Structure 1
Amino acid sequence: MKRARATTEILAIASGGGHWDELMLLRSAFTGRSVVYATTNPQLSMRDNIVDLAVLPDCNRDQVRKSLRCMWASLQLVLQLRPKVVVTTGALPGLFCLIAGRVIGAQTVWVDSIANSDAPSLSGRVARPFTSLWLTQWEHLAGGRRVLYRGALL
């Protein structure tokens, strides 16, 4: 995937499964913007009619080598695209892109999964210092200016 650096406004990323489904619910918010989607499952581009898709290696915190490979690929993607905004619904690949986005000066948005009803996710807690906006989908988990509730996606 080779593209000009100045063309990507938004990098929207999520792991496959529920994280991706929640990201797809945000698609209408990106209308009229230059968006590149990224995920760990290439089949999702056909299912959801995504033209501009980047595929990252899948990983989780228990897979150190895969996580390092995904971290490197995430950094390369963000450096190539230079997005103005990075939006993610998680999980670990989204966290890596969010941190890389913050390092290059992008605005960063973390939307914690609806599945995390008792406490923010581990990735979400790690993401918090790197976010411009951190959203929970559970009103009782909101607190102060750092964790906001603006409704649920599902």
Structure 2
Amino acid sequence: MKRTENVRHTRVLAIASAGGHWQQLMVLRSAFEDCDVLFATTLAGLSEEFDAAPAVVIPDISRDSLIKLPWAVVSISYRLLKFRPDIVISTGALPGLLALVLAKGLGKRTVWIDSLANAETISMSGKLARRFSDLWVTQWPDLAQREDAKYFGAVL
């Protein structure tokens, strides 16, 4: 009789703010095909609209709403501890950066893909994400060369 073993798939927390960041993350979904993925975004109903499941809603924070930062830390930390991802990947913005910072503190691998909209300079969150990213990517070849980032092509 052949014995089969349960294989644990790589767990990925894929997190992005609503809007263009989320759309770019959705384009990357095929890269997570053989993974156990938890999607996280900042707008209720967005994951259903894109048929991205399982998914959770996390607090939307920005530099204009840092008063929400403690709640965002608790919410994202809870998801990290409950789901236990191997990798956290984000296309931005501040909630994704926060997830990378917290994940790195837990010894997780992290990936930041800066938004396609940032053609002239890396985003503010992206600049901060650099020190917490195992893989730091831009979608512009000239910007990659200038900033010493990785470039693998554009998502959109």
Contact 1:9 1:34 in 2 (8 A): yes
Q: State which of 94, 108, 115 in structure 2 corresponds to 1:106.
A: 108
CA–CA distance in structure 2, aligned partners of residues 135 and 153 of structure 1: 11
Q: Structure 1's 113 and 133: CA in aligned 2 closer, same or farther, altered over 3 A?
A: same
Q: 1:83 aligned to 2:122?
A: no
CA–CA distance in structure 2, aligned partners of residues 51 and 108 of structure 1: 21
Partner of 1:74: 76
Contact 1:134 1:146 in 2 (8 A): no
CA–CA distance in structure 2, aligned partners of residues 32 and 8 of structure 1: 8
Task: Report the count of equivalent residues.
Answer: 149
Larger Rg, first or second structure (1 or 2): 2
Q: 1:44 aligned to 2:46?
A: yes
CA–CA distance in structure 1, aligned partners of residues 114 and 35 of structure 2: 23
Aligned pairs for 1:1-150 (under 5 A) are 9-143=11-145, 146-150=148-152
Contact 2:9 2:34 in 1 (8 A): no
Residue 51 of structure 2: SS of its match in structure 1? coil
CA-CA distance at 1:55 after TM superposition: 0.7
Amino acid in the other structure paired with 1:61: R
CA root-mean-square deviation: 1.7
Contact 1:9 1:84 in 2 (8 A): yes
Amino acid in the other structure paired with 1:56: I
Q: State which of 115, 135, 155 in structure 2 corresponds to 1:153.
A: 155
Amino acid in the other structure paired with 1:55: V
Contact 2:16 2:40 in 1 (8 A): yes
Contact 2:41 2:47 in 1 (8 A): no
Give the TM-score normalised by structure 1. 0.90
Contact 2:9 2:35 in 1 (8 A): no
CA–CA distance in structure 2, aligned partners of residues 146 and 30 of structure 1: 26
Residue 145 of structure 2: SS of its match in structure 1? coil
Amino acid in the other structure paired with 2:153: G
Partner of 2:4: none
Which residues of structure 2 form unaligned runs of 5+?
1-7
CA-CA distance at 1:72 after TM superposition: 2.4
Q: Percent identity?
A: 44
Contact 1:38 1:53 in 2 (8 A): yes
Which residues of structure 1 form unaligned runs of 5+?
1-5
Contact 1:8 1:81 in 2 (8 A): no
Runs of 4+ in 1 over 4 A off after TM superposition: none
CA–CA distance in structure 2, aligned partners of residues 7 and 53 of structure 1: 17
